[in-house]
Chain A
């Protein structure tokens, strides 16, 4: 680890975007991933549940404009059962992974279903629970093949190229990896979920380093779900089990940790304004009650502003990060300072 130099990176809360929408419509329900399109539109993968629905890819922007939702629960082409991740290619085609159907679905830039590929199995080019996805610098798709404990690389049309990783806790080995991201310098970062660490690989898939141990201290993780890297190489980790986001510089020097500070979003405020009884009841609401629990998941369950299951992070114009929370059906916007 290099010696830390210069001022620490900070993260300041700016905004909240979201609204619980179990029956569809404006808002999200149990979202698991988000991605920013080249024009700044923000796509939120709302996994939903099998009973009430709320499944789809919801489209908004940084100013809370609501556009539309695409895809829904099902096994037909263009649908999903247990979607895990979304990513855009250079042409703004949208790729979606589904760990139940073991397939990658592609939508064109106008959101029309284009194709899908992938089969279940453990051989080359087969999946056992495709999880995170990201495009490498050559435009090929990296797929976290979760239960096969590896990262596979494909051409956009699904031709298998190569893979790296195997089960274990050594360098380059994985324990149920989840999210993957490609840094601006082409390095590949993998959230090595059950090993409680982030691993870094070269573009070719050669192990560079691993960072993190199990715990709740600085530089420790509890089941990290995802990672994002900005143009300076700063690293942002969705520390899912600890219900926080940690930031590091490119040499893994700890910068800051945030717990969340969510407020009523524009959509949420409109809802409260339109419901007089809830508005009145909320007027005495203390968002930070005194608690008799210390388990981070329980604390988040009882504290509305805090992140509850921060599952994914996306950079927005390299000045802001968007932190998506499964449990609160929203994302919080923080600015780098």
Chain B
């Protein structure tokens, strides 16, 4: 494999970290992180400042549909603005992670507003204690209606949420019995939303009439809670939902399951979740490292990830570019590189739709199992969408991010014409220290040669560099994180 300049340096390691904890790095972001060093960058990731994203008031004023966030293009685009413009992308990566694990879909709950509130909750609790997160999840109105807990009554339980918190959210198949599912459901009876009959009916009828949607509010109905004795995962008592979550969190199966998800999202592609009961993790040592951090730090997700990012496992060469980017990573990373969305624009709907066409509808996972990820992202059609989107987005030398790249190249070569090999190295470096295979790199150099002289200080040169950047984001390697 050919390399960009200084492969193996700390900067490459930081670029690797920023691909996993964010959406790749612009040249400016990488420079800033480089000054902090790897540990300093980690410190900042876990102690982020203000997101300083495009202000919500501006978004709502210029997109009237971003006020009620009723339909999927509105809610998805509202999140897209945050993803593209935030200064704290790790928060968004965490939100995307939990959105995938705790997959909830606007397709059923209808309301984009409550979906966005769920994403806000993931941002707030996503790196904290898994116990706190599960409690918030169990009270989350979108989750309650997604898994029918409003129909889970003390005299007539609905097992849906009780089952999925065990199977899909916290422990995985094989670590509980059917009786545990029923007892778990009993513990969550009475966890509902205010005005449930009317809200539920409006959701079922999928109607904004008469006055739009009314965002849902969690409500605990004590009169509908089964406070009888329950036996759950070997313990007996008059358990509430909180008690059940306590028992789940201290069970050894839980951090194993969560760590495997974290590994899949942040380290390297794992097997699809349905295969987990039958095949162990690819990297048991990495999983155990996170499990230990979980128990040593009050079930902290952040501690699990920090332990992982500080490990030699994560830093190893084998983990670089070891994951296929999700559609959100492709779309958001490319838009951030180009410097898009400084101001509200209808292009945000196109970006959100592009993500959808690539197979990931934000706020609309295909099922309760979320997206499988890995090879599942890739098909002939989705590859075409990925390449076209990236190439189109990058193909404008007047965009802020592209201008910045061209400006840096001009600064590096004040004498004018840039040697083709050096130009390709520069561009690979400036799109986030991308590595490409030898043959790919040779092809890029050949492309530059065919263009003739390239002086980055000229309009002609800027155009040629833009074309080269388009070609780079069209490579197979750009699809890897």
- Chain A contacts to B: CB under 8 angstroms: 18-20, 22, 30, 32, 47-52, 82, 99-100, 176, 178, 193-194, 223, 225, 241, 262, 264-265, 267-268, 271-272, 275, 277-278, 280-282, 284-286, 289-292, 298, 301-304, 308-309, 326-330
For chain B, the count of residues having a C-beta within 8 Å of the partner chain is: 36
- Do residues B71 and A20 form an inter-chain contact, with CB atoms below 8 A? no
The CA-CA distance from A178 to B73 in the complex, in Å, is 25
Binds A, one of B206-214, B333-341, B387-395, B464-472: B206-214
- Say how far A260's CB is from chain B's closest CB, in angstroms: 11
Our pick among B65, B208, B216, B346 for the contact of A302 (Cβ within 8 Å) is B216
Contact A50 B346, CB 8 Å, known A268-B210, A281-B200: yes
Which residues of chain B (193-211) have a CB below 8 Å from chain A?
Answer: 194-195, 197-198, 200-202, 205, 207-211
- Do residues A301 and B57 form an inter-chain contact, with CB atoms below 8 A? no
The CA-CA distance from A218 to B194 in the complex, in Å, is 31
The CA-CA distance from A47 to B62 in the complex, in Å, is 11
CB pairs A–B below 8 angstroms (26 shown):
A30-B67, A48-B64, A49-B73, A50-B346, A51-B65, A52-B71, A99-B62, A176-B61, A267-B210, A268-B211, A277-B201, A278-B198, A278-B207, A280-B197, A281-B197, A281-B201, A284-B195, A284-B197, A285-B197, A292-B218, A301-B215, A302-B215, A302-B216, A326-B67, A328-B211, A328-B212
- Do residues A32 and B64 form an inter-chain contact, with CB atoms below 8 A? yes
- The reply to whether the CB of B349 lies closer than 8 angstroms to some CB of chain A is yes
- The reply to whether the CB of B167 lies closer than 8 angstroms to some CB of chain A is no
- The reply to whether the CB of B369 lies closer than 8 angstroms to some CB of chain A is no
Which B residues are in CB contact (< 8 Å) with A303? 214
- The reply to whether the CB of B230 lies closer than 8 angstroms to some CB of chain A is no
- Say how far A262's CB is from chain B's closest CB, in angstroms: 7
Which A residues are in CB contact (< 8 Å) with B242? none
Which A residues are in CB contact (< 8 Å) with B200? 281
Contact A271 B67, CB 8 Å, known A292-B217, A301-B215: no
Our pick among A18, A51, A82, A309 for the contact of B211 (Cβ within 8 Å) is A18
Our pick among B195, B201, B214 for the contact of A301 (Cβ within 8 Å) is B214
Which B residues are in CB contact (< 8 Å) with A280? 197
Which B residues are in CB contact (< 8 Å) with A286? 194-195
Our pick among B64, B202, B217 for the contact of A289 (Cβ within 8 Å) is B217
Which B residues are in CB contact (< 8 Å) with A52? 71
Our pick among A50, A193, A302 for the contact of B349 (Cβ within 8 Å) is A50
Our pick among B58, B73, B212 for the contact of A308 (Cβ within 8 Å) is B212
The CA-CA distance from A22 to B71 in the complex, in Å, is 11
Beta-carbon contacts of B410-450 to A below 8 Å, as 1s and 0s?
A: 00000000000000000000000000000000000000000
- Do residues B210 and A20 form an inter-chain contact, with CB atoms below 8 A? yes
Which B residues are in CB contact (< 8 Å) with A292? 217-218
- Most chain A beta-carbon contacts within 10 A, residue among B65, B113, B200: B65
- Say how far A331's CB is from chain B's closest CB, in angstroms: 11
Which B residues are in CB contact (< 8 Å) with A298? 117, 215
**Known pairs A50-B65, A286-B195, A303-B214 / 6 extra A-B pairs, C-beta < 8 Å:** A47-B64, A49-B64, A278-B201, A278-B205, A298-B215, A328-B212
- Do residues B218 and A326 form an inter-chain contact, with CB atoms below 8 A? no
Our pick among B117, B194, B208 for the contact of A22 (Cβ within 8 Å) is B208
Which A residues are in CB contact (< 8 Å) with B64? 30, 32, 47-49, 326
Which A residues are in CB contact (< 8 Å) with B246? none
The CA-CA distance from A268 to B195 in the complex, in Å, is 19
The CA-CA distance from A155 to B117 in the complex, in Å, is 47
- Say how far B197's CB is from chain A's closest CB, in angstroms: 4
The CA-CA distance from A49 to B57 in the complex, in Å, is 18
- The reply to whether the CB of B148 lies closer than 8 angstroms to some CB of chain A is no
Which B residues are in CB contact (< 8 Å) with A22? 208
Nearest-CB residue, chain B, relative to A285: B198
- Do residues A289 and B194 form an inter-chain contact, with CB atoms below 8 A? yes
Which residues of chain B (77-135) have a CB below 8 Å from chain A?
Answer: 113, 117
- Do residues B71 and A49 form an inter-chain contact, with CB atoms below 8 A? yes
The CA-CA distance from A19 to B198 in the complex, in Å, is 17
- Do residues A291 and B67 form an inter-chain contact, with CB atoms below 8 A? no
Which B residues are in CB contact (< 8 Å) with A282? 198
- The reply to whether the CB of B180 lies closer than 8 angstroms to some CB of chain A is no
- Do residues B67 and A223 form an inter-chain contact, with CB atoms below 8 A? no
Which B residues are in CB contact (< 8 Å) with A285? 195, 197-198
Nearest-CB residue, chain B, relative to A225: B61
Beta-carbon contacts of B34-75 to A below 8 Å, as 1s and 0s?
A: 000000000000000000000001101110110110010110
Which B residues are in CB contact (< 8 Å) with A262? 211
The CA-CA distance from A241 to B58 in the complex, in Å, is 11
Nearest-CB residue, chain B, relative to A304: B214
- The reply to whether the CB of B219 lies closer than 8 angstroms to some CB of chain A is yes
- Do residues A281 and B198 form an inter-chain contact, with CB atoms below 8 A? yes
The CA-CA distance from A329 to B60 in the complex, in Å, is 15
- Do residues B68 and A327 form an inter-chain contact, with CB atoms below 8 A? yes
Which B residues are in CB contact (< 8 Å) with A32? 64
Our pick among A18, A49, A309, A328 for the contact of B74 (Cβ within 8 Å) is A49
The CA-CA distance from A264 to B202 in the complex, in Å, is 16
- Say how far A203's CB is from chain B's closest CB, in angstroms: 28
Which A residues are in CB contact (< 8 Å) with B194? 286, 289-290, 302
- Say how far A300's CB is from chain B's closest CB, in angstroms: 9
Which B residues are in CB contact (< 8 Å) with A100? 346
- Say how far A71's CB is from chain B's closest CB, in angstroms: 16
The CA-CA distance from A319 to B195 in the complex, in Å, is 36
The CA-CA distance from A302 to B210 in the complex, in Å, is 15
Nearest-CB residue, chain A, relative to B194: A289
- Do residues A289 and B71 form an inter-chain contact, with CB atoms below 8 A? no
- Do residues B217 and A291 form an inter-chain contact, with CB atoms below 8 A? yes
Which B residues are in CB contact (< 8 Å) with A267? 210
Which A residues are in CB contact (< 8 Å) with B74? 49, 51
- Do residues A178 and B61 form an inter-chain contact, with CB atoms below 8 A? yes
The CA-CA distance from A176 to B217 in the complex, in Å, is 34
- Do residues A19 and B214 form an inter-chain contact, with CB atoms below 8 A? no
Our pick among A30, A277, A330 for the contact of B68 (Cβ within 8 Å) is A30
- Say how far A54's CB is from chain B's closest CB, in angstroms: 10
Nearest-CB residue, chain B, relative to A303: B214
- Say how far A224's CB is from chain B's closest CB, in angstroms: 11
- Most chain B beta-carbon contacts within 10 A, residue among A193, A262, A278, A291: A278
- Say how far B181's CB is from chain A's closest CB, in angstroms: 29
Beta-carbon contacts of B301-326 to A below 8 Å, as 1s and 0s?
A: 00000000000000000000000000
The CA-CA distance from A282 to B200 in the complex, in Å, is 11
Which B residues are in CB contact (< 8 Å) with A51? 65, 71, 73-74
- Do residues B202 and A278 form an inter-chain contact, with CB atoms below 8 A? yes
- Say how far B237's CB is from chain A's closest CB, in angstroms: 27
Nearest-CB residue, chain B, relative to A20: B208
- Do residues B209 and A302 form an inter-chain contact, with CB atoms below 8 A? no
